[in-house]
Structure 1
Amino acid sequence: MSGSPHSDRPPIRLTRRGRAVLVGFAAAVTLAGLWLTAGPGAVAGSRDGGRGPSGPARTVVVEPGDTLWGIASSADPGADPRLTVQRILDLNGLNGDPTVRPGQEIRLPAG
């Protein structure tokens, strides 16, 4: 009798399903680790197309007949109005409600 008592066992082999489970588990652990270490501000620029804050916000008072789309188009004429509307909604805490009323003060993103 030579060698270890377990030398007559065949080596462990992973099936295709076993490898997929192992890779999926490793990916999930890696993503969870990145998510936990990234912090809350890690994705701040992703919603607005990668444009981060570019300065202080200014405000406008909504006039009769104004719409959020029109305000967004005037605030940043070169940008996609959809992104500017979303930035205005986020900045003012409007929770996705694009309704504005005359006399309402709206903060606009700088840029």
Structure 2
Amino acid sequence: MKNLYARRRREKGESVLDCLIREVGEETGLAVESVDQYLGHFDYTYARGRVSRQFVFALTPDKPGPIVLTEHDRHQWIRDADELPSITGELRAFLAMHRPHR
């Protein structure tokens, strides 16, 4: 199971990679085996107009599940962004740039 995407907020004094590993564990229950690639970033605009820069990485989890959500209502494994019911234009554009070639 490669290419799990994670994006969250760093705590004071925390490195980006430490943040990534911590947040993946907190939000999914998965341990990270390796951080495979920095994919880039995009600016996300919240409904209230606030903008947040999202840094996105591809990683490989230590074991394939189970997913235990703590901060979200659901998760979905997808092959293509078109399979998502509703995502922002910023995220859709970012995912389109990083779509695996078939």
TM over 0.5: no
Q: Normalising by the residue count of structure 1, what TM-score does the alignment of the two structures yield?
A: 0.26
Q: Normalising by the residue count of structure 2, what TM-score does the alignment of the two structures yield?
A: 0.28
In proportion to residue count, which structure has more helix? 1
Which of structures 1 and 2 has the bigger CA Rg?
1
